[in-house]
Structure 1
Amino acid sequence: MDAPAEIMDSWLCSAAVGARAAGRILAQSSATQRDAALRAAAAAIRRHAAAILAANARDVEAYTGTAAFRDRLLLNDARIEAMAGGLEMIAALPDPLAGILAEWTRPNGLVIRRIPQPIGVIGMIYESRPNVGADAAGICLKSGNAVILRGGSESQRSAQAIHTAIIEGLRELGLPEACVQIAPTSDRAFVAAMLTASGLIDLIIPRGGKSLVERVQREARVPVLAHAEGLNHTYVHEEADFGMARAVLANAKMRRPGVCGATETLLIDASVAPAWLPVLVADLAALGCECRGDARAGAIVPMAAAAFDTEWLDAILSVAVVDGLDGALAHIARHGSSHTDAIVTENAEVAARFLAGIDSAVGMWNASTQFCDGGEFGFGAEIGIATGRFHARGPVGPAQLTVFRYHVVGTGQVRP
């Protein structure tokens, strides 16, 4: 049963006040203590693996959506180990709060230092993938931020079980449990409370489908670090190594078609499309993928019409035949979402022009778009893929959840 709005608002207010106080302690803790807490949380996740899997089994049993989204929800031994390993990788990263970002001395002798600091209290709203809660908690702990998690209704049991393990790690190292809190309800009205919690929450990060991100951007009275849809493209240039193109495209689309880094559109040069496209389509069909193309693609291999502005998140791929690099760039500019776009080519000059010509948070050359992932970037995990214009772009790890401030050191100077 949904909780009354006043109860949710009261819980959020209390949680945010507690998070603020806990965040101050966390920000002043040593990197050694934070890293030890992350390793303790990883160990607790392994100890609680059976309970987490049992909770997840109940979530999966109750889920009635698509197979691709079911895969996002599903946990198994390997994915639990990946969660725990991700926390350990985060612990092994350099301290994002250490050191001086810049330092200079003014003519009057004042020494000005720019130093990193946490953002404060993060509100994390996510859907489907329960491991996101562990990733977000780890990244926030590493960077000295407190976090309030709100998972989706479909993964609520799993999220609560993971949270229990993480809190155990905090408790072992003497850090406040309020550093990582999880909403007591999956009621959509709780999202509304978070979005209007100006002064309580410093940054909202939504991670989920288009409707969630659009709602957050529309209703938020708190700054948002958001990503658009993953309308990602793989462009097969006429000077590609065809064997490489086959392998990269198959992985980019079908490794996990339900993730935001999956390729949604194949672009292929008109000069090689008649010879190469039938093979690429056959490769994908053998993996269970349906191709839908524009008129030029359909004239080579009969297929249903494409929808180039649709993020399929499923075993469906849009296909367009383009006239060289300029045609590919024009298509991406028209239909892309500034997430991740890739080119397969042996021509370094063309690759450089492609990477300079796209406006994506991540551009790739001769690599699968599914490498757009914080773990693959060496961040240990990610809290999301940012595609906006401010603060951070691409996978968001611990360093991207810090801002900066200044220390000014004088010797008694006064301003004339």
Structure 2
Amino acid sequence: MSGPAINWTDASRQALQARELLGAPDTGLGDLPLRHDVRESWKRSLAHASAVEQPAVLSNERLRLERERSELQRIWPVFEKLLVPAATDANLLVALADAGGTLLWVAGSNGALSQAEGVGFMAGADWAERSVGTSAPGMALATGSGSQVSGAEHLYERAQQYSCSAVPIRNPRTGQVIGAIDLTGGPDAIATHSMPLLQAAVMAAETQLLLPGVGVVADPDYLDLGRCDGVYLGSLPISLRHAEILTLLAQHRDGMNTARLVEELFERPDAAAEGTVRAEMVRLRKVLAELPGRTLTSRPYRLQWALQTTLGRLWDALELGDLEAALQLYSPGLLVRSQAPGVLMLRHRTEAALREMALDRGRPQQLLNLGRQLADADLLRAALRELPADSPARSLIVAEVQELEA
């Protein structure tokens, strides 16, 4: 979502004043007259180094390898199609940075590319905050939010001739930030339409990431519980029972004995339940044999590698207060067919925490989406309170609330 319009004239004046005050003995970083997000970026940047220098640049061979390894190579063509032609016409550059801040691709007119190379804005360059200080791509990666930077707001002096807007890109299954897309150039880079344009392109790119990728290897240490076509450990489909066992063992890193697993897996365990668990463990070990290095021990049963699950990552996001990431990870289909008491407890606890955080800090669309997913009238009413009085969605939401409460 776009924030309030920025008065760039005021922002430029404040940034110039801040640069004059920077380093003065009686002025702290918290006192600098900057926009809040820019001031915080200056603090983070200067915590790494007192001086900001030209960024390091990868060799051509290293850049080639980084591109081949990155999942971003699947979506660069989306940005080439949606952003590059218009940006080139406006003498702007489009840059795609990985999660570490390295610009893997930069595109635009030959003249704009050549000029930007003079300040180190080029494919292979490191534009993270720790490298060149405040910039839109560096800020977007550091905060997980769309960012805009103009002129003197850049700490790197040679970058002050540029303005830039950037939006983070997330893995749509995990919510993890995997990169950022950036527009850099003159005033058009921070024009009113720039952020919506980038956000729309990112939505298209993240949708592309949901499609099967040729030659892309799924993470073998991630149990994906959110897919509509079943549960996958990496690229390996697994049964519901094995998904339940792995979810519980990932939650209990110290391990679980057979009796505890029976309690967590069976609603009404019988005399044969312990034997059933042992048999499932034999089958699970055969499945894991396809993934070298992924084993589990007995007495107690314990995973011998660091397995991450969708529920685990969702809970991590909640503990960090990252509602946006938690909502992207959540799906009503998370092990929805499971009747295992331990899994149901994890689901209910996670959904309750997600609901409370949404009620506390959620935006209208977040409240609305989660309210519909959980069929929760309180969340829908909270969305109504946040929506403008003239929103066309209000009558529909009122009808949904009435239906839920009927």
Considering the TM-score relative to the shorter chain, is it more than 0.5?
no
More helix as a share of residues: 2
Structure 1 length-normalised TM: 0.28
Structure 2 length-normalised TM: 0.29
- Greater gyration radius: 2
More strand as a share of residues: 1
